[in-house]
Amino acid sequence: MSLLKGIEGPSDLRKLSPEQFPDLCQEIRDQIISVISDVGGHLASNLGVVELTVALHYLLHTPDDLIVWDTSNQTYAHKLLTGRREQFHTIRQFGGLSGFCKREESVYDTFNAGHAGTGVSAAVGFVEAREQQKQSHKVVCVVGDGALTSGLTLEGLQQAGDSQKDLLVILNDNQMSISKNVGAISAYLNRTITGELGVRLQEKVNLLMETIPRIGGQVKKVAGRAQSLAKGLVSPGMLFEELGFRYVGPLDGHEFDYLLPTLENVLKLEGPTLLHVVTKKGLGYEPAMNDPVWFHASSPFDLDTGKPKGKAARPSYSSIAVNTLVQLAKEDPRIVAITAAMCEGTGLTAFEQSFPDRLYDVGIAEQHAVTFAAGMATQGMRPVIPIYSTFLQRAYDQVIHDVATQNLPVTFCIDRGGLVAQDGTTHHGVFDFAYLRHMPNMVIMAPKDENELQHMVKSCISSDRPAAVRYPRGSGLGVQMDQVPEALPLGKGELLRSGTDIALVAIGVSVHQAMEAAERLEQEGVSAAVVNARFVKPIDADLIATVAGQVKCLLAIEEGAAMGGFGSAVLEVLSEAGIASVPAKCLGLPDWFIEQGPQDLLRDKYGLTADGIYQQAKQLFARVSVGPVST
């Protein structure tokens, strides 16, 4: 009889005995591995947190008690235990379950997250709301060790420790190794320290010290220092205790004999407590344990071998950008690369292999990465930051304050620009054009194909000002590559085809779709010009104004937020040029957060395919051709 199939919610889990939990965990792992092998997803981290998830829902009274999952890409077991088992096969699919926590999806998902470092701050907000409303439920935040490099996490810990309100932070450490003996001893000590007897004993000893005439306070102070020194020699918890937390750990996160009693005791404590739990990424699936980096966010894979089911025949935009960077770095010793814990994701492993001493991984600290780059740039270096568009959002102020205001030559290789598929709302890179183009001194460009990308990387590094090149997720178009990257003329687009009826002014991956749409229009007798803008800023105002003056209407196209983006820049050009007689329309993404789904499906839904552009252009031209209706 399947244990998992009998669980429709945590209340069913609490009917089981702890002796059944190992079998339940195996079923959960089997289910996760089976589904993710078909659809792809965050496998390694989810396999590592199964026991902890079961223990939390068993001991807490969720959903009354609140669990905040930092990043929340490790919540697959959580979803299986909270009423979503029947829908789990739809995870990360269009119209299916989110791969992250989503409050709209379940009452058990307390906070939407897709970026690391948000959990502790949100949990502190939960705690203070609880206190304001005179409630008594528990608040638990599960945070990964990688998120400790996030300044936001440390800011949240600082407030929590200072307030001394009841909060449990669980540090899910999947990097530290812990032997069986150390784990057993640590678990025994933690059960003793956190048990009611241990806590009462500590309190009574402190009271006794305070009663000693004249010297009691000093004795207590010295004893506290001695205790801190001793703990510092054998425990990694000094930092947290200095922040005002009671530190417990490290504890083996896969042994229920240790995990359950310690967690039960910790949940009885008052004030801020940090429980340090050590887990193993990929546990239960050997390929994931052997290669946790690839299985952090894998594509579909063969269940028996762990090998990807299919590899792209053409190189990715990410690899083209980094390979160009390597080529340029061989000739220019000023070039260094900086990543915020995304070396593999952005393809920087190739750069690291060639220049290990010129790659800086600063951890999950995007703000620091940008200001660090600014500091290097002031000293004559040419720092390059390959970064996902959605993660660069986190360093918005640093791009303005530390890079743009000083007009420093920092290059941003913005990966995953536009629609990114199954990771969904928090990961679509659709706001970068809009949030970068109003910054003085900033140069922004986007290639129509992979060959143009290599020239744009060269253009950015050759510039003496802040510059960004934005490219999509996925494979290139398979175009012929030039042997040597050359810098493009700053702010100059190109006219790909002439026309007299309508102008399709496009940027980035939308350019080749616009070309296909123009050919279809031509077959129907509509003469369509196509402009590859290349630059969002400085935009080629002369080219756009000239083409606009030769046609009856204009359609601006971008795979980004239409509000304030590239299309808005085109409209500003027409306004400045006084070309009010040419009807113009912007085709981009609407003013809401885009859902998850395959790139092609989403492009089709929002009219950003060749057919969608053709339909929009045809409708626009038809309205213009009819002209005003007389009354």
Each residue's pLDDT tens digit, 395-404: 999 999 999 9
pTM passes above 0.75:
yes
From residue 320, how far is each of 452, 464, 600 by CA, in Å? 10, 23, 22
Q: What is the pLDDT of residue 517?
A: 97
Instruction: Using only the alpha carbons of the chain, give its radius of gyration.
Output: 28
Assign 250 a pLDDT band (cuts: 50, 70, 90): confident
pLDDT at 371 over 70: yes
Same fold, 21-188+238-287 and 494-626: yes
The span from the CA of 540 to the CA of 491, in Å, is 5
The span from the CA of 433 to the CA of 403, in Å, is 17
Q: What is the pLDDT of residue 232?
A: 45
Each residue's pLDDT tens digit, 96-107: 999 989 999 999
| Range of lowest pLDDT (74-88, 228-242, 605-619) | 228-242
The secondary element (H helix, E strand) that includes residue 338 is strand 335-339
Spatial CA neighbour of 272 closest among 139, 166, 136 = 166
| Burial grade of 617 (CB within 10 A; 0-12, 13-18, 19 or more) | buried
Residue with the bigger pLDDT between 172 and 627: it is 172
Give me the DSSP letters along 112-157: ---STT-HHHHHHHHHHHHHHTT----EEEEEEGGGGGSHHHHHHH
The span from the CA of 155 to the CA of 152, in Å, is 5
Q: What is the pLDDT of residue 562?
A: 95
Range 535-553 burial, b when 16+ CB lie within 10 A, else e: bbbebbbebbbebbeebbb
pLDDT at 233 over 60: no
Range 473-483 burial, b when 16+ CB lie within 10 A, else e: bbbbeeeebee
CATH 2.60.40.420 correct for 494-626: no
3-class DSSP state of 17: coil
Assign 215 a pLDDT band (cuts: 50, 70, 90): low
The span from the CA of 436 to the CA of 443, in Å, is 9
Query: For strand 359-361 and strand 584-589, is the pairing parallel, antiparallel, or unpaired?
Result: unpaired
Structure tokens at 494: 């190109």
Stretch 373-399: mean pLDDT, rounded?
Answer: 96
Domain ranges of the chain: 21-188+238-287, 317-470, 494-626
| Range of lowest pLDDT (19-23, 237-241, 304-308, 600-604) | 237-241
Structure tokens at 225: 């220092």
Assign 145 a pLDDT band (cuts: 50, 70, 90): confident
Each residue's pLDDT tens digit, 311-368: 667 899 999 999 999 999 999 999 999 999 899 999 999 999 999 999 999 988 999 9
Give me the DSSP letters along 151-220: HHHHHHHHHHHHHT--EEEEEEESSS---HHHHHHHHHHHHHHHSHHHHHHHHHHHHHHHHSTTTHHHHH
From residue 67, how far is each of 203, 511, 622 by CA, in Å? 29, 45, 55
pLDDT at 613 over 50: yes
Structure tokens at 315: 């190189």
Assign 224 a pLDDT band (cuts: 50, 70, 90): low
Structure tokens at 397: 């102020």
Each residue's pLDDT tens digit, 508-517: 999 999 999 9
Each residue's pLDDT tens digit, 556-612: 999 999 999 999 999 999 999 999 889 999 999 999 999 999 999 999 999 999 999
Residue 493: φ, ψ to 5°: -90, -170
pLDDT at 218 over 90: no
The residues annotated as belonging to the active site are 281, 366, 394
The span from the CA of 134 to the CA of 284, in Å, is 43
What CATH code is assigned to 317-470? Answer: 3.40.50.970
The span from the CA of 429 to the CA of 183, in Å, is 42
Is 594 within 8 Å of 602 (Cβ atoms)?
A: yes
Is 266 within 8 Å of 195 (Cβ atoms)?
A: no
The span from the CA of 561 to the CA of 569, in Å, is 12
CATH superfamily of domain region 21-188+238-287: Thiamin diphosphate (ThDP)-binding fold, Pyr/PP domains (3.40.50.970)
Q: What is the pLDDT of residue 382?
A: 98
Cα(first)–Cα(last) distance of the chain, in Å? 77
Is 296 within 8 Å of 44 (Cβ atoms)?
A: yes
Assign 185 a pLDDT band (cuts: 50, 70, 90): very low
Each residue's pLDDT tens digit, 93-138: 999 999 989 999 999 999 998 888 899 999 999 999 999 999 999 9
Kindly report the average pLDDT of the chain as a whole number. Answer: 90
Neighbours of 52 (CB within 10 A): 23
The span from the CA of 46 to the CA of 76, in Å, is 6
